[in-house]
């Protein structure tokens, strides 16, 4: 029997799984936290891969989803959010030193889109937008039944589209991007600013205040938290309207932790999307749905990509 190994390197955890050629049920699956010292990340990654390796089967390929822009052919990482030492980092070179099987690479959100399209919420949709809202905002696009990666594999950076030129500074250093208005970090920042300004809230200022905390407070009726999530939803709706005009997709899939805010986020999002489209025909056959695989979308997309390369359906 042959097996494929899929890896998803996230902002806080790394996940790996070995899969048989034609099944979605992993043979082995494992997860580790990213080590604090960035120097040992490669070692941790290799240990993780080892832990899901299948000695009885022949491993025919590795497929790796990474955060941030990456050159898919070479596996050269331009920059990886949350992994400062992986700026201009030749991950492909490093891994190919160790593994003699083919190693494939892709941006984590691109692979997540592929996973949802092949096996999940997006099956059968030739034109699909996947947007993941967590610490940052990432995206993946299927167009004419193909993943959109662009000339260097850097496409679908849906968090870095302009929504308001005079807006707040984004994680990328530019102003006014969607991510600066609607990511988990943006929600937390907006809450912090308002508390500092003296607005009342059940939330406490602190360096570890998270989007999850804001979401919980909102569920319990905290007005400031509700408004912060509402604003994020509105901006996502505005951006989605633009994406709908650009791609005319039949499905939008929402992933990432912030999407778990549920209606607090999706109500303003859908309302704004509806208000902003230039013609209702764009919405007539458009589904807006949560991801099916949640945190596993990237892993399954990495698997789908490797299978595609081997011509396995």
Q: Write out the residues near its own copies by the rule CB under 8 A.
A: 69, 78-79, 126-127, 141, 143-144, 146, 148-158, 160-165, 172-174, 238-239, 241-243, 245-250, 276, 278-279, 281-282, 285
Q: C-alpha dihedral over 144, 149, 151, 152, to 10 degrees?
A: -170
Considering only CA atoms, which of 64, 148, 145, 62 is closest in space to residue 110? Answer: 148
78 or 99: whose CB is closer to its own copies?
Answer: 78
In the bound complex, what is the minimum distance in angstroms from residue 161's beta carbon to its own copies? 4
Which two three-digit tokens encode residue 73?
A: 């052919």
Alpha-carbon distance 9 to 120, whole Å?
Answer: 20
- Whose Cβ is closer to its own copies: residue 81's or residue 294's? 81
Q: In this complex, which beta carbon is closest to its own copies, that of residue 222 or of residue 230?
A: 230
What is the closest distance, in whole angstroms, from the C-beta atom of residue 126 to its own copies in the complex? Answer: 7
Instruction: For the beta carbon of residue 12, count every other beta carbon within 10 angstroms.
Output: 9
Residue 210 CA: distances (Å) to CA of 154, 183, 235? 29, 11, 20
DSSP letters of 41-57? HHHHHHHHHHHH--TTS
Q: Which is nearer to its own copies, 28 or 174 (CB)?
A: 174
Q: How far is the CB of 1 from its own copies (least distance, A)?
A: 33
Query: Would you say 155 or 217 has its CB closer to its own copies?
Result: 155
Least distance (Å) between residue 21 CB and its own copies: 26
| Interatomic CA distance for residues 61 and 228, integer angstroms | 44
Token pair, residue 1, equals 């029997």
Closest contact distance (angstroms) between CB of 83 and its own copies is 16
Residues 107 and 70 sit within 8 Å (Cβ to Cβ): yes
Residue 65 or 156 with smaller CB distance to its own copies: 156
Answer for the pair 119, 239: CB distance below 8 angstroms, yes or no: no
Residue 80 C-beta: closest distance to its own copies, Å: 13
């Amino acid at each position: 029997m042959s097996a494929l190994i899929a890896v998803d390197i996230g902002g806080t955890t790394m996940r790996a799984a070995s899969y048989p050629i034609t099944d979605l049920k992993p043979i082995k699956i494992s997860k580790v936290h990213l080590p604090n010292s960035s120097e040992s990340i490669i070692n941790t990654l290799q240990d993780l891969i080892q832990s899901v390796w299948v000695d009885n089967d022949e491993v025919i390929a590795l497929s790796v989803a990474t955060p941030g822009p990456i050159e898919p052919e070479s596996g050269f990482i331009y920059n990886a959010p949350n992994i400062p030492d992986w700026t201009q980092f030749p991950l492909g070179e490093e891994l190919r030193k160790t593994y003699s099987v083919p190693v494939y690479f892709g941006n984590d959100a691109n692979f997540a889109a592929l996973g949802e399209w092949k096996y999940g919420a997006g099956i059968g949709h030739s034109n699909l937008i996947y947007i993941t809202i967590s610490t940052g905002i990432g995206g993946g696009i299927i167009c004419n039944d193909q993943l959109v990666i662009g000339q260097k594999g850097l496409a679908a950076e849906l968090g870095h589209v302009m929504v308001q030129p005079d807006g707040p500074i984004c994680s990328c250093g530019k102003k006014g991007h969607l991510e600066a208005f609607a990511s988990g970090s943006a929600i937390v920042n907006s809450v912090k600013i308002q508390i500092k300004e003296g607005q009342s809230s059940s939330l406490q200022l602190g360096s570890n205040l998270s989007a999850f905390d804001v979401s919980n407070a909102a569920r319990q009726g905290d007005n400031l938290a509700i408004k912060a999530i509402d604003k994020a939803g509105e901006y996502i709706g505005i951006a989605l309207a633009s994406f709908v005009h650009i791609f005319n997709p039949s499905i939008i899939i929402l992933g990432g932790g912030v999407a778990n805010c549920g209606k607090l986020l999706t109500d303003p999002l859908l309302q704004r999307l509806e208000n902003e489209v230039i013609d209702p025909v764009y919405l007539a056959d458009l589904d807006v749905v949560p991801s099916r695989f949640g945190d596993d979308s990237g892993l399954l997309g990495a698997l789908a990509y490797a299978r595609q390369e081997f011509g396995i359906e």
